[in-house]
Chains A and B, each alone.
Chain A
Amino acid sequence: MQPPVLKEIGQSHSREFYRAVVGNSIDLIAVLDEEGTYTFVGDSVTAVLGYVPEELVGVNALSLVHPADLPGVQLALAGLLAMRQTTIPHFRFKAKDGEWRWLECTGRNMLHNEHVRGILTSARDVTAATQLAYDNDYHQAYYESLFFEHPDTVFTLNQKGEFQQFNKHLQTLTGYSESQLLGTPYTSLLHPDYLDVGAEAMQKVWSGEAHTIEVAILTQEGTVKYVSVSVMPVYFRDELQGAQGIAKDITEQKSIQRENEKLSLVASKTVNGVVIMNPAGKIEWVNDGFCRLTGYDRHEVVGHIPSELLQGSGTDPKTSKRIRSKYESRKPFSEEVLNYRKTGEKIWFYIDVTPIFDQEGNLQNYIAIETDITEKKEAEEKLVKMADDLYKHNLDLQQFTYIISHNLRAPVANALGLAQLINKLPKETANYDAVVQKLQGSIEQLDIVVKDINQILSLRESGRVASREKVHLKQVCQEVLQQFNHEFELSGAQVSVAIDPSFSLLSIRAYLYSILYNLVSNSLKYRSDTRPLKLEVRAERDKRGFVLTVSDNGSGMDMHLVQHQLFQLYKRFHPNTYGKGTGLFLVKTQVQALSGKIEVESAPDQGTTFKIYLGAKNV
């Protein structure tokens, strides 16, 4: 194209015309000699590099080329000189301000042209474009790293949803080969149950919204894997090109999560109470079962120690102590323990406690499982009570056998013998009337024993069912003592009563009366011959109720001899004093019917003290 231009110079345009055209060109036009020294520099150099043309003429162009780019430029220059078709690589050139500019340059050997006599170069500043290309390469490298080196599966989809590009992890994840996957729609990997979820998510992506979903896929082997996939739309110049996504294999987490969900379901829905405690034994979490069993809300119990919250007055202190020491031993254990609901209701728990340790052996938690065994315990208690009742009945039976073979049989034997004797004795003898009288006595005694037995039997029965009423101890005591006033006066007895008038309890009044009556009557009957009777009746409070004490200074008993038989029926220990041997037996039976206990202390010729422990049930 050069020759026609030059041809026209001479014909129609002035020399100044060409200067102006070259000087205002966007490209930098210059001419170099064989060495590369500027012989001509167009005016556009000022716009491109900041120099004025005169500064550069006579300067070797190679001296301004970046040393790193110099070899390429020199090679190109040599090529031009040898008249070869030569492309000059982009090079950096020092501008007036000292900065390097990327130049794109073409050259033409015109040494033989008589008008030019040099190498014509045309250069343009491509710094911006080169920087852009560099940046693009740079970003591309990052993108590729992100795409191919990502530890998760990265892929791109075209607008049809087919795999276009992916890293090696997609093969590992799915088990399909690269060729099997290329061009395959993503839907072919999805588990049928997740097709809807996938389609919905992709719809959002195509409408321009990035989206993360969890789906199940089917591998080539047919196994199910769970993946979390983030898919985002890709736009280029505002045009939707497709989508790219990152998929993470979460099969393991999913199975752990599902196991946890199941465990949590078991822990929260089981009928048993589940308690998780910290190493100090304080509650961190309880399940619904615990709340249902105990009546406490979760927030009420967190931070508390279960035993302090649940145990109560009826809990066996030995069991509590054992549980505490077992917690301290840091070994699994189980116990049966009486606890209390929030309402105060009793509930028996079977507790199963397991300490949990971390890998270093540090105690992390205690887990307790609490099973309601109230029904079982109540059944056990009933059984024990039944066994106790049976035992008592058995004792009663033995005692009645004894009564029948001795106390009932004795007057019968006497009557029989006396009747025989009467037959032998002539009516006139002095003895005859006496024998008849004794016969009558024996039959009367028989009648008394039969009546006693009847009374005792009815007492035992009613003791189980009789209703309790409020009884003031002092009042009953005074009524009893009044009965004996006359005898006290006759014998010169000193009687003292120390009972707080406020003492009252739920009891059977007739029994309390009878108990006191028998004891006071005994004190009178067995008083010492040598000193006047001193009788003291007092009552004190104790843990369970009241203790009633009746003590005298009478003839007393040798406890070694009597202790095993004192309260038995028809036992008498004072041969010289009238008595049937029923009094103390009745007292004991009545005390037992009131769920109480009786104790006795005595010493011969010193006196006797009876203590009656009247059980709880005080008002």
Chain B
Amino acid sequence: MFRSVYIIDDDEVSAFLTEAMLTAENFSQRYHTFLNPCDALQQLLPSLQFNQSHKIPDVIFLDLNMPFINGWEFLDAVAPHAPQLRCCCLLYMLTSSLDIMEVRRAQEYDFLSGFLHKPLEESIIHNILKHS
């Protein structure tokens, strides 16, 4: 079981669903849902900058298609802190998109732990849990 999880998704239903599925599998102790990705960045960036690993979530589920800043822009914003992310955070793309181009694009970010398609499935959740 993880300590803390970020769910970054502007789609309220989707965010609710992700949290409900994770809860059902006893995924984490705490869930932080951000409907606005900017809020998530505001929280995350200082922790990464000052390497406060206790404030960095164990797992992040990041949606792609969001207003204001999308998933890619979010990744670009945290990319300078790739080493910290690699060591103490599992960062997953979680998107409804089936676009193969986006899967390829995701491979450019080596600190990404995986590219997941919505809806989140039990087996996937169990696989991730093995890393805890």
Partner-B contacts on A (CB < 8 A): 401-402, 405-407, 409-410, 412-414, 416-418, 420-421, 424, 431, 435, 438, 441-442, 561, 570-576, 581
Q: Which of A405, A418, A561 contacts B97 (CB 8 A)?
A: A405
Q: Enumerate B20-40 residues with CB–CB distance to A below 8 Å.
A: 20-21, 24, 35-36, 38
Which chain B residues border A561 with CB–CB below 8 Å? 68-69
Q: Which of B13, B67, B98, B99 contacts A414 (CB 8 A)?
A: B13
- Is B46 on the interface with A (CB-CB < 8 A)? no
Instruction: Decide if B64 touches A406 in the complex (CB within 8 Å).
Output: yes
Most buried by B among A410, A416, A435: A410
- Is B132 on the interface with A (CB-CB < 8 A)? no
Instruction: Decide if A401 touches B99 in the complex (CB within 8 Å).
Output: yes
Which chain A residues border B102 with CB–CB below 8 Å? 405
A401: nearest chain-B partner, CB-CB = B99
Instruction: Decide if B11 touches A414 in the complex (CB within 8 Å).
Output: yes
Which chain B residues border A417 with CB–CB below 8 Å? 14, 17-18, 21, 118-120
Instruction: Decide if A420 touches B99 in the complex (CB within 8 Å).
Output: no
Instruction: Decide if A418 touches B67 in the complex (CB within 8 Å).
Output: no
C-alpha gap A340/B98 in the complex (Å): 55
Smallest CB-CB A-B distances: 4 pairs: A417-B119, A413-B118, A572-B67, A413-B96
| Distance to closest chain B CB from A569 (angstroms) | 11
Which chain A residues border B119 with CB–CB below 8 Å? 413-414, 416-418, 420
B67: nearest chain-A partner, CB-CB = A572
Instruction: Decide if B13 touches A418 in the complex (CB within 8 Å).
Output: yes
Instruction: Decide if A414 touches B14 in the complex (CB within 8 Å).
Output: yes
Instruction: Decide if A414 touches B17 in the complex (CB within 8 Å).
Output: yes
Instruction: Decide if B99 touches A573 in the complex (CB within 8 Å).
Output: no
Taking A417-B119, A575-B38 as known contacts, 18 extra A-B pairs with beta carbons closer than 8 A to each other, sorted by chain A number, are: A405-B96, A405-B97, A406-B96, A407-B65, A409-B96, A409-B97, A409-B98, A410-B14, A412-B96, A414-B13, A414-B119, A416-B119, A417-B120, A418-B119, A421-B21, A441-B13, A572-B68, A573-B67
C-alpha gap A512/B31 in the complex (Å): 48
A419: nearest chain-B partner, CB-CB = B119
Which chain B residues border A442 with CB–CB below 8 Å? 13
B122: nearest chain-A partner, CB-CB = A420
Assuming the A-B contacts A402-B99, A406-B64, A581-B67, are A413 and B14 also in contact, with contact meaning beta carbons closer than 8 angstroms in the complex? yes
C-alpha gap A499/B132 in the complex (Å): 66
- Is B58 on the interface with A (CB-CB < 8 A)? no
- Is B3 on the interface with A (CB-CB < 8 A)? no
Instruction: Decide if B67 touches A405 in the complex (CB within 8 Å).
Output: no
Supply 14 A–B pairs (Cβ within 8 Å), ascending by A: A405-B96, A405-B102, A406-B96, A409-B96, A409-B98, A410-B11, A413-B117, A413-B119, A414-B14, A414-B17, A417-B14, A421-B17, A572-B68, A575-B38
Which chain A residues border B14 with CB–CB below 8 Å? 410, 413-414, 417
- Is B16 on the interface with A (CB-CB < 8 A)? yes
Which chain B residues border A414 with CB–CB below 8 Å? 11, 13-14, 17, 96, 118-119
C-alpha gap A527/B121 in the complex (Å): 41
B39: nearest chain-A partner, CB-CB = A575
Interface of B is mostly: loop
Instruction: Decide if B17 touches A410 in the complex (CB within 8 Å).
Output: no
C-alpha gap A424/B18 in the complex (Å): 14
C-alpha gap A417/B38 in the complex (Å): 26
Most buried by A among B11, B13, B20: B13
C-alpha gap A252/B13 in the complex (Å): 101
Which chain A residues border B36 with CB–CB below 8 Å? 575-576
Instruction: Decide if A410 touches B68 in the complex (CB within 8 Å).
Output: no
Which chain A residues border B21 with CB–CB below 8 Å? 417, 420-421
| Distance to closest chain B CB from A565 (angstroms) | 9
B11: nearest chain-A partner, CB-CB = A410
Which chain B residues border A421 with CB–CB below 8 Å? 17, 20-21, 24
Which chain A residues border B11 with CB–CB below 8 Å? 410, 414
B64: nearest chain-A partner, CB-CB = A406
Q: Which of B35, B99, B117, B121 contacts A575 (CB 8 A)?
A: B35
Which chain B residues border A409 with CB–CB below 8 Å? 96-98, 118
Which chain B residues border A431 with CB–CB below 8 Å? 20
Q: Enumerate B50-88 residues with CB–CB distance to A below 8 Å.
A: 64-65, 67-69
Most buried by B among A405, A413, A561: A413
B119: nearest chain-A partner, CB-CB = A417
C-alpha gap A424/B13 in the complex (Å): 17
Q: Which of B20, B24, B99, B121 contacts A405 (CB 8 A)?
A: B99
Which chain A residues border B65 with CB–CB below 8 Å? 406-407, 410, 570
C-alpha gap A525/B99 in the complex (Å): 32
C-alpha gap A402/B64 in the complex (Å): 12
Q: Which of A438, A571, A572, A575 contacts B13 (CB 8 A)?
A: A438
Which chain B residues border A574 with CB–CB below 8 Å? 67
C-alpha gap A412/B97 in the complex (Å): 11
C-alpha gap A572/B65 in the complex (Å): 10
| Distance to closest chain A CB from B72 (angstroms) | 12
A442: nearest chain-B partner, CB-CB = B13
A420: nearest chain-B partner, CB-CB = B119
